[in-house]
Chains A and B, each alone.
Chain A
Amino acid sequence: MKIKHLLAGGSLLALSTLPVAHAGATLDAVKAKGFVQCGVSTGLPGFSATNDKGQWTGLDVDVCRAVAAAVFGDASKVKYTPLTAKERFTALQSGEIDMLSRNTTWTLTRDTNLGLNFAGVNYYDGQGFMVHKSLGVKSATELDGAAVCIQAGTTTELNLADYFRSKGMKYTPITYDTSDETVKGFEAGRCDVLTSDQSQLYALRIKLKDPNSAVVLPEIISKEPLGPVVRNGDDDWLKVVRWALFAMINAEEMGVTSKNVDEVRKTTKDPGKQRLLGLSGIKGQGLQIRDDWAYQIIKQVGNYAEAFERNVGQGSPLKIARGINALWKDGGIQYAPPIR
């Protein structure tokens, strides 16, 4: 009785109770409500963080914006839900968000046990180590007996345990709740090593008072393909998210950028580019969205290279090299199926 009473009171307050569509209908629901509800992290430099003006920016955020651009022709039609690592899957499962773009590692368990579908990989990451330079450690194999700072709620804890076990080494894990505390613990000297995804290590390193006092070790101890996630059993929506990402990668491969896209669209004779920009081929028909969807993505969000450099690459404080995130033809493994 009491709870019911409360629920009644709650709806009186009427803080927008969102009716959410059933599985299979996310695309329709998104079109109907006019925006994409996108789950992001509560603050991760380069991937999803707010700036002074409270706007969300980052590589993960750009995936959400690309989807909005594809569906509505307007990349700003996104509402963001900051989520902690604990909440993220529940939020997606319960329909609170339409898609999750929050540096989430694609694993077998998550793909199968949690009722989720991974739409692709927007960043190939791997777990690495950062150590204090003063220790003089050159390789992760010298870390026997080290104290390791680590952020809770991720696969990193398991990878770390596996790595040390397989090498027959001992370690002391110091598990913090947030990345901020992890860095502070490392900086204060509570641990010798900080472990996280490599992209994070660079992001965390610039948070140190003296970033040069720490070095990132060369070893990568795990595979962390990070990508956007949608609910199981909703293929139409899955395809929209997947191809929004692929369009960005294809655009980079064809050399179409946000700057030259209008010109390319007017002048190009290349059938591949024509198909990409919705001038010929299947256009938006198969995805049940606007014909110029890829054009809108490129125009408003940019191609993958632009998004990468702007958020985590040379145009950002993180200055992460493309590495394996380069296109397949440049020696990396970013590869998107063709648009035809």
Chain B
Amino acid sequence: MSEGKTDYIPGQYPDLPPPITEVGVVGWLRQNLFSNWWNTGLTFLGLYLVYLIFVPLIQWAIIDADWVGDSREACTSGGACWVFIRVRLDQFLYGFYPVGEQWRVNMTGLLLAATIAWLTVPKIPGKRYAGLFALVIFPVIAYLLLSGGSFGLEPVETTLWGGLMLTLILALVGIVAAFPLGILLALGRRSKMPIVRALSVAFIELWRGVPLITVLFMSSVMLPLFLPEGVNFDKLLRALIGIVLFQSAYIAEVVRSGLQAIPKGQYEAADALGLSYWKKMGLIILPQALKLVIPGIVNTFNELFKDTTLVMIIGLLDLLAIIKAALEDPNWLGYSIEGYTFAGLVFWLFCFGMSRYSMAIERKLHTGHKR
């Protein structure tokens, strides 16, 4: 009490709220944006960048854009001319697939979406069958539906396939067909048999070492020379063979990383149980390894999806190629920015979705056994 010192009694003063500069919006701003002069400068620089990029973009793509109409006369406002995309949308999605038959593509697309949902949404049961369905049954159904020629369906030439549909086919067949081959190669690379190992390594390194563009050249220009006279493949199939060979090498490496992550004890335990090689792999090792590599597979698929744009070089009309072809139409000259923006947006949505999914899986797998 003496010398001006007062003892503090708890509860003597009411609790003060925290300073306004430390909590709430202001606190968040101070902490994250204006903590010091350097940070403040960066913040303003960032804001300026946002202003510089997004304001004209939104102005062009939305505010000033033309949305309705059916010819270029409708595009008068100086912004983006989305009419072009609307008019050509059918072609961008289905290529030259006959209009009356496009329901088949839609059906396949729906089935694909359902299959993917089955595979990816955790709540839907029967994952084991989902994998089998996606890898074996779905491709058969999809082929029968798209190509036709049986069950009273009119055959549709692969030269008529194009647009987003073809992009998806190339990427999906590329990944599905490359999957078993990739697993075999990965097992081969970790095999104890020296010749099998050497061949697998050679195969994997060969395809991983060359650009896809040369692989596509090879399959389109050289493959016909490799086959006996008179035997010939459909152009799409040729491209697919190239893509599958190329892709299998990448999948092999992803799968191998999964195999390596399985503790040695698992192998030894399987051996101790007297399981044969294929039983050991098929029942013990692969189920664990493949679960681990799902994010890697999705990332590989993401890469492949973007790389399918290269088939343009061998004259297949994938999404980007068909948009470029549409830009050649004398009635729609000068709308290349709209075309490319649309292509970019579609590719981006798919790839972004996939990368998010793979990240989510990764996070899920990491819980529990994070080293």
Chain A contact residues, CB within 8 Å of chain B: 2-3, 5-7, 9-10, 13-22, 42-43, 45, 49-52, 54, 79-84, 86-87, 90-91, 93-96, 177-180, 184, 206-207, 209, 317
Q: Are B221 and A87 in contact (CB under 8 A)?
A: yes
Report the nearest A residue to B330, measured CB to CB.
A317
Residues of B near A22 (CB, < 8 A) are: 229-230
B328 touches A207 (CB 8 A): yes
Which residues of the partner chain A approach B227 to less than 8 Å between Cβ atoms?
Answer: 94
- Complex formed: what's the CA distance from A317 to B185 in Å? 55
CB contact under 8 A between A52 and B329, given known A6-B241, A10-B240, A19-B230: yes
Query: Considering only CB atoms, which chain A residue lies closest to B162 in the complex?
Result: A54
A54 touches B160 (CB 8 A): yes
Question: Distance in Å from the Cβ of B240 to the closest Cβ of chain A?
Answer: 7
Contact for B336 among A9, A79, A177, A184, CB less than 8 A: A184
Partner of A2 from B185, B224, B313, B324 at Cβ < 8 Å: B185
Q: What's the Cα separation between A79 and B156 when bound, in Å?
A: 11
A residues near B313, Cβ cutoff 8 Å: 84, 177
Contacts of A18 in B (CB 8 A): 232-234
Whether B138 sits at the interface, judged by CB under 8 Å, is: no
Q: How far is the CB of B93 from chain A (nearest CB, A)?
A: 12
Given A6-B244, A207-B333, output 12 extra A-B contacts at Cβ < 8 Å.
Answer: A2-B203, A19-B230, A21-B230, A42-B317, A49-B328, A51-B329, A86-B217, A86-B220, A87-B315, A90-B221, A184-B336, A206-B333
- Chain A, Cβ-Cβ closest to B155: A16
Residues of B within 8 A of A7 (CB): 241
Count of inter-chain pairs, beta carbons less than 8 A: 124
Whether the pair A82, B233 counts as a contact (CB closer than 8 A) is no
User: Separation in Å of the B76 CB from the closest CB of chain A?
Assistant: 16
- Docked pose: A95 CA to B330 CA in angstroms: 33
- The yes or no answer to B96 lying at the interface (CB within 8 A) is yes
Asked whether, in the complex, the Cβ of B315 is within 8 Å of the Cβ of A207, the reply is no
Pairwise interchain contact A10-B314, C-beta atoms closer than 8 A:
no
* B304 located at the interface, meaning its Cβ lies under 8 Å from any Cβ of chain A in the complex: no
| Interface size in chain B (residues, C-beta < 8 A) | 51
Q: In the complex, are the beta carbons of A83 and B328 less than 8 A apart? A: no
Q: Which residues of A contact B292 (CB under 8 A)?
A: none
A132 to B327, CA, bound (A): 22
Distance in Å: Cβ of A234 to nearest Cβ of chain B: 13
Chain B residue contacts of A96, Cβ below 8 A:
224, 232, 235
Bound Cα distance A20, B203 (Å): 31
Chain B nearest CB: distance from A34 CB in Å? 12
Question: At the interface, yes or no: B237 with Cβ under 8 Å from chain A?
Answer: yes
Report A-chain residues with C-beta under 8 Å of the C-beta of B225.
90, 94
Bitwise, B150-163 to A at CB < 8 A (1) or not (0) is 00000001111000
Q: Closest residue to A211 on the B side, CB-wise?
A: B333
A218 to chain B minimum Cβ distance, whole angstroms, is 25
Q: Which residues of B contact A43 (CB under 8 A)?
A: 325, 328
The answer to whether B177 touches A9 (Cβ under 8 A) is: yes
Residues of chain A within 8 A (CB-CB) of B230 are 19-22, 95
B328 touches A3 (CB 8 A): no
Expressed in whole angstroms, the minimum distance between the Cβ of B218 and any Cβ of chain A is: 11
Q: Are B324 and A180 in contact (CB under 8 A)?
A: yes
Question: Which A residues lie within 8 Å of B224 (CB)?
Answer: 90-91, 93-94, 96
Contacts of B124 in A (CB 8 A): none
Residues of A within 8 A of B324 (CB): 178, 180
- Shortest Cβ gap from B96 to chain A (Å): 3
Give residues of chain B (133-172) contacting chain A, Cβ–Cβ below 8 Å.
139, 143, 147, 157-160
A29: min CB distance to chain B, Å: 10
Q: Min CB distance, A22 to chain B, in Å?
A: 6
Q: Which of B54-106 contact A (CB under 8 A)?
A: 87-88, 91, 95-96
Q: How far is the CA of A31 from the CA of B248 in the complex (A)?
A: 40
Cα distance, A45 to B327, chains bound together (Å):
11
Contacts of A9 in B (CB 8 A): 177
Is B232 touching A2 in the complex (CB atoms < 8 A)? no
Chain B hits for A13, CB < 8 A: 139, 143, 173, 177, 237, 240
From known contacts A79-B159, A86-B221, A207-B333, infer whether A45 and B237 are also in contact, taking CB-CB under 8 Å.
Answer: no
Q: Is the CB of B147 within 8 A of A15?
A: yes
Nearest CB on B from A11, distance (A): 9
B334 interface hit (Cβ, 8 Å): yes
Q: Are B159 and A94 in contact (CB under 8 A)?
A: no
